[in-house]
Structure 1
């Protein structure tokens, strides 16, 4: 009764109709996963007047399809009708590589003028952050898929000069830290737009990236829903804060590859949340 945890929830799920704005897709995915487990003949209808991060909802629906769940959905994902009476069964399959994590070695290559080959990814995957490789291609990188005997490889090679672009990150908010770091080393202006949902992650990633890249000498302007970055400046390494946010830590680390001098990122251990060993892969010195 004080608005704080713990929260006590009691069933049964009765169905009905609800309208919910989803600045993050997790609100909708949670309802989509829970609704099929209601009693048989229960119908849940969900109106979605706002939906960010739609590719993550598509991943949820792919799981429901694999489970044979009965539902209807508008093509624009603004309305769902889900029937109860389902039960989830064990299924087998290969867990695909994580495009959100793959963003960091790819952007590291783009920033440092190198080439990287990534394993374990699939060009047919529904993950939204697959689009990051399109962003890098638009900035001038050579991005190439190759099918090998043991699966796909994805190579990213830096151009002679990265070019600034306008990128709509609404479906890929986790890409903002890595793309903000990359944009610092691109000629011209990069606009990362339509991504207000980046402010409600582990940190306000728009504000944090503007603040920390600014310490390195980057010129950026916050928008309510993104960042405008003036690239091509010489950046100088210094002490920056990772804010205990795994993606911020990794983004600042790859920015440090092209800074003059040494860049020190605190709370670096946070990178292990999604990519254990990434900082060591860069050759970083880990200091307790």
Structure 2
């Protein structure tokens, strides 16, 4: 499938769907709680459905109702091991969080996880080592530190040290260790994307889970023999999804209002609004949760993106359409997402005329060049595809972007919502 996107002027109101990060964490806790939980306004996407399927395979009972809310009856901290493997599709969050929770099984049979070709190339060994340190048996089947993996219980607790080049490793341990028999002490000499750990802790705090940690998460203690209880919660809107609308509106919007964003939430990509303000964007955040954005003359700046790697593709596009030079740096982990996003964004933006330089840990973009229409690869990466759609809408050009089916990973309604405020964007089936 392709997305065809072209020059547009945007105006009107748009409501952003629920957060992927919050939805998967809510599903994980509900799946391992005692009793039936209610998750309201979840994100419905291929990633979140992969999470539901994983927790259901380990014994949770799931009723998706009409997708306005989900009812999940949990396994009370003791998952079962399915006979077959669990395929997480393209969801790295599901793989890492579910792998930790699978370590709570009784050890009689291993839980085996696999995924698509991207998932099977993404590193997992540090988490496997820590789960093994804490009493489970966790191995990479092909001995390459990636999926497919097998996890056999039972997680007991103890001590481990882990370098977290993705915060999902630490979030996984935060979710599974409270259900271990003994307390766990975790040394974290390296942690990228700490705000995503903050999202995990928001859910643990609602559950009353006992833990302690230093401000930088370098030392963590999680008390054992705890449990999750049933809950009724609403999923906050997704700032990562909102970033495409914030940037598009700042480049070519006429009184665009983005609704439902809670800037007190822990999601790191709320920083995109501040990045845009520093570039000169006209952004007004209102008390009712709406954000009004009008097109402005943007100027390049330096942005440390270590806390917001998922925003790199759309900020690279925004920088290409701004005046002056923008440097996106300290985000080497963007090379280990669904794709090497640093390399891929340099490639696709260069192809349409942007002046962009690849750095080991980011990009330098010299804005102001006229972009050209054409065909580009989305690299099967949802954030690259959506970013390049914005490049066409705001850059006054027309682009055909392939592998567009990958948008369904996190934001299946992206084209429809962009069209609702005037964006010229369509899905096109390929023969």
Q: Which residue of 2 aligns with 1:283?
A: 424
Are residues 22 and 162 of structure 1, via their aligned partners in 2, closer, same or farther at CA, if it must alter by over 3 Å?
same
1:279 shift after superposition: 2.2
User: How far apart, in 1, do the equivalents of 2:234 and 2:191 lie?
Assistant: 29
Alignment of 1:138 with 2:275, yes or no, is no
Q: Which residue of 2 aligns with 1:172?
A: 308
SS of corresponding position for 1:239: strand
1:285 shift after superposition: 2.7
1:199 shift after superposition: 0.7
What are the equivalent positions in structure 2 for 1:124-135 lying under 5 Å apart?
124-135=264-275
Q: Which residue of 2 aligns with 1:19?
A: 161
Alignment of 1:147 with 2:283, yes or no, is no
* Contact 1:271–1:279 (CA under 8 A) maintained in structure 2: no
Query: How far does the alpha carbon of each residue in 1:127-186 deviate from its partner, in whole angstroms, 9 at most, with x for none?
Result: 1100010001011111111134xxx11112221x21001001100100000100000011
Q: Which residue of 1 aligns with 2:170?
A: 28
1:9 shift after superposition: 2.1
Are residues 243 and 6 of structure 1, via their aligned partners in 2, closer, same or farther at CA, if it must alter by over 3 Å?
closer
Are residues 51 and 215 of structure 1, via their aligned partners in 2, closer, same or farther at CA, if it must alter by over 3 Å?
same
Q: Which residue of 1 aligns with 2:364?
A: 228
Alignment of 1:46 with 2:186, yes or no, is yes
Larger RCO (alpha carbons 8 Å, 6+ apart): 2
Q: Which residue of 2 aligns with 1:257?
A: 393
1:105 shift after superposition: 1.1
- The alignment covers a number of residue pairs equal to 282
Residue ranges of structure 2 left out of the alignment (5+ in a row): 1-140
Alignment of 1:9 with 2:151, yes or no, is yes
Q: Which residue of 1 aligns with 2:294?
A: 157
SS of corresponding position for 2:198: helix
Alignment of 1:80 with 2:216, yes or no, is no
Question: TM-score, normalization: structure 1?
Answer: 0.94
User: How far apart, in 1, do the equivalents of 2:150 and 2:264 lie?
Assistant: 40
1:260 shift after superposition: 4.7
Residue ranges of structure 1 left out of the alignment (5+ in a row): none
SS of corresponding position for 2:303: strand
1:13 shift after superposition: 1.6
What are the equivalent positions in structure 2 for 1:64-143 lying under 5 Å apart?
64-143=204-283
1:210 shift after superposition: 0.4
* Contact 1:216–1:236 (CA under 8 A) maintained in structure 2: yes
SS of corresponding position for 1:186: coil
* Contact 1:189–1:229 (CA under 8 A) maintained in structure 2: yes
* Contact 1:111–1:257 (CA under 8 A) maintained in structure 2: no
Q: Which residue of 2 aligns with 1:207?
A: 343
> 4+ runs of 1 displaced by more than 4 Å?
none
Question: TM-score, normalization: structure 2?
Answer: 0.63
1:277 shift after superposition: 2.6
SS of corresponding position for 2:149: coil
* Contact 2:321–2:395 (CA under 8 A) maintained in structure 1: no
User: How far apart, in 1, do the equivalents of 2:178 and 2:330 lie?
Assistant: 32
1:92 shift after superposition: 1.8
* Contact 1:110–1:141 (CA under 8 A) maintained in structure 2: yes
1:122 shift after superposition: 0.8
Q: Which residue of 1 aligns with 2:13?
A: none
User: How far apart, in 1, do the equivalents of 2:189 and 2:279 lie?
Assistant: 33
SS of corresponding position for 2:264: coil
Are residues 14 and 166 of structure 1, via their aligned partners in 2, closer, same or farther at CA, if it must alter by over 3 Å?
same
SS of corresponding position for 1:284: strand
1:117 shift after superposition: 0.9
